Amino acid sequence: MSSSHARPGPRSIELFERAQRTIPGGVNSPARAFNGVGGGAPAFIDRAKGAYIIDVDGNEYVDYVGSYGPMILGHADPQVIEAIQKQAAKGLSFGAPTGLEVELAELICDMVGSIESVRMVNSGTEAAMTALRLARGYTGRKKVIKFAGNYHGHVDALLVNAGSGPLTLGIPGSPGIPEAVVADTLVATYNDLDSVAEAFAAHGDDIACVMVEPVAGNMNCIPPVEGFLEGLRSLCDAHGTLLVFDEVMTGFRVHPGCAQALFGVTPDVTALGKIVGGGMPVGAVGASRQVMETLAPTGPVYQAGTLSGHPLGMAAGIATLSQLADGSVHRAIAPKLATLRKGLAEHATRHGVPFLTQAAGAMFGMFFTDQPRVERFDDVAACDIDGFSRFFHGMLDNGVYLAPAAFEAAFISRAHDDEAIERTLAAADKAFAAVAQA
């Protein structure tokens, strides 16, 4: 049916050459480029089903990208596809309210304990941007604390490099962002409460919010150390600051009630994306009714979007979350991920390759390091990035698709059955061997 040797073939290469003539870098998101793993043409995907994606050359891959998180049920889940098709037949977008918006909002409020009211947006970036504006508008303060290695979309004020110290004033993380835009962004060290306390000591009366990924998923997969999230909650309470969880990645993936339920720490504001739209471009911001009524039209903080609450996204979100609510999907995934991680570690050890996996719920990370635990961005940067690149290409050659960067988490789905995991571990044995021989 499809090739077992999965190096991107001639049709992918031809499409990449064409794409570079009309699309910057040939991709519509830098995360899809192979620059971080030595370059080359990415596989152009034609279709997907369950745990597998198939490229335009017919190569089949066991997929651990899952559209960077949304596909927790597997690709082309029948209930999700049916819901989208049913709604598409009624019309695509109306610029007016629909009952689907209400149904998804109610479902989110039922599943996430801290959320009483929710505003739909179109992406995780929009959710983070709205959460930041909401926090500033609600508190009347300007400054925000974020963490080195935490990614909140390409919002100007949050796209900030950390520098070498535990706490720096914001330095723009991209050309096109004026220094003035990030002058009120403070960067602390993830999993280091002292760096946060230092920021509060210097600016406590003007810090609107602390924004954090409760599990860092954009410097691979780094769970919070014991007491970190609880400490953030205490510091925010002491200073009248809002705690914002960016659960765009972790929301509904690590637990049916999101990371806040998994770790037992309640934020004031939650940004959602990815799974909340079931694979469609949807984001959401939720909080208590009191905080959310700061948004227009009930309050003065303006936020709007022509396609917010898009019917197809709402239908996909409802069909996805309704299957996650009882926890059965997460319970089914847990032993699969445990088997996968154990097998990966065993193959790495057999080939003498320093290797570590970390996980939270249905997301995991792979680090080429002899460290017992990776907790901060500096730990990730100290890993063997070249080793990961060789491993990535070894896996790709043997039919396993990983994100083409050492700084991205990996995602498993309900559809990853024993066969998919066995194929993954067989590929890993060959890939680790290639790493060891380099």
Residue 63 lies in a domain: yes
Give pLDDT tens digits for 356-391.
999 999 999 999 999 999 999 899 989 999 999 999
Residues 150 and 295 in one domain: yes
CB 188 within 8 A of CB 199: yes
What pLDDT is stored for residue 204 in this prediction?
83
Confidence check: pLDDT of 429 > 90: yes
Residues 141 and 248 in one domain: yes
What pLDDT is stored for residue 162 in this prediction?
37
pLDDT-based confidence at 6, cuts 50/70/90? low
Residue 1 lies in a domain: no
Q: Look up 268 and say whether it is catalytic.
A: no
Please compute, for residue 431, the number of CA atoms within 13 A of its CA located in the half-sphere on the CB side: 27
**List 138, 274, 401, 429, catalytic entry:** 274
Residues 294 and 416 in one domain: no
Last residue in a domain, options 292, 324, 356? 324
Residues 358 and 379 in one domain: yes
Average pLDDT value for the chain: 93
Rounded distance, CA 55 to CA 6, Å? 9
Residues 96 and 208 in one domain: yes
Q: Closest by alpha carbon to 248, among 98, 160, 128, 386? A: 128
Higher pLDDT, 233 or 31: 233
What pLDDT is stored for residue 115 in this prediction?
98
Q: Is the peptide bond before 24 cis (omega within 30 degrees of 0)?
A: no
Confidence check: pLDDT of 3 > 60: no
Rounded distance, CA 125 to CA 107, Å? 22
Could you tell me the CA-to-CA distances from 1 to 46, 56, 66, 415 in Å, in that order? Answer: 14, 13, 22, 19
Residue 193 lies in a domain: yes
Rounded distance, CA 380 to CA 385, Å? 9
Residue 5 lies in a domain: no
Residue 243 three-state SS: strand
Domain that holds residue 45: 10-76+328-437
**List 68, 138, 151, 401, catalytic entry:** 151
Percent of the chain with pLDDT over 90: 85
What pLDDT is stored for residue 165 in this prediction?
31
Amino acid at 356: L
Last residue in a domain, options 297, 324, 351? 324
Give pLDDT tens digits for 132-162.
999 999 999 999 999 998 999 888 888 875 3
**List 192, 246, 268, 379, catalytic entry:** 246
- Residue 155: give its domain's CATH number: 3.40.640.10
Residue 419 lies in a domain: yes
Q: Look up 302 and say whether it is catalytic.
A: no
What pLDDT is stored for residue 8 in this prediction?
81
Q: Look up 274 and say whether it is catalytic.
A: yes
